Amino acid sequence: MSAPAGTRHVPMRRCVVCRASRPRAELLRLVRIDEGYRLDPARRLGGRGTWVCAGCATEPNDKRLRQAFAGQAQEVRALLHAAVSALPQAAASALPEPASAHASPAAQGAAGNPASEA
């Protein structure tokens, strides 16, 4: 069955750091090249891309970034910081926070579920 008229498919991608699924437009794309990684603002470079949300790019916790990018975490962090600082202030404030800044859905569900209180 087709989608209702007026709705348009929004491509979703997953941040490799926080694992949150977000619309492609809200994430930064990195592509691996011979020398390391390259930022792909147009999202058109060939090869398999790695997606990172802007909140994770500026988050001080290096552990998850090191796990995602292994030995090139320093280079990737520099690329991400440059990309986020180059964003206009209005666009940067509109980007979502990393998923780790929010309570987990399980914790929220348990707090709001009257059956869990009994």
* pLDDT digit string, tens, across residues 73-103: 888 888 888 888 887 654 555 555 555 544 4
Please, are residues 18 and 100 in contact by the beta-carbon 8 Å criterion?
A: yes
pLDDT value for 23: 95
Percent helix / strand / coil, the chain, rounded to 5: 45, 20, 35
**CATH assignment of the domain containing 45:** 3.30.1230.10
For residue 1, being part of any structural domain is answered with no
Could you tell me the pLDDT band of residue 51, with boundaries at 50, 70 and 90? Answer: very high
81 lies in a domain? yes
97 in any annotated domain: no
Poorest-pLDDT segment among 32-36, 51-55, 66-70, 96-100: 96-100
| 59 inside domain | yes
Residue 4 located in a structural domain: no
Number of folded domains that form the chain: 1
Residue 68 in any domain: the answer is yes
Mean pLDDT calculated for residue range 67-73 = 83
pTM score, two decimals? 0.66
Give me the mean pLDDT over the 15-30 stretch.
93
In a domain, 99, yes or no: no
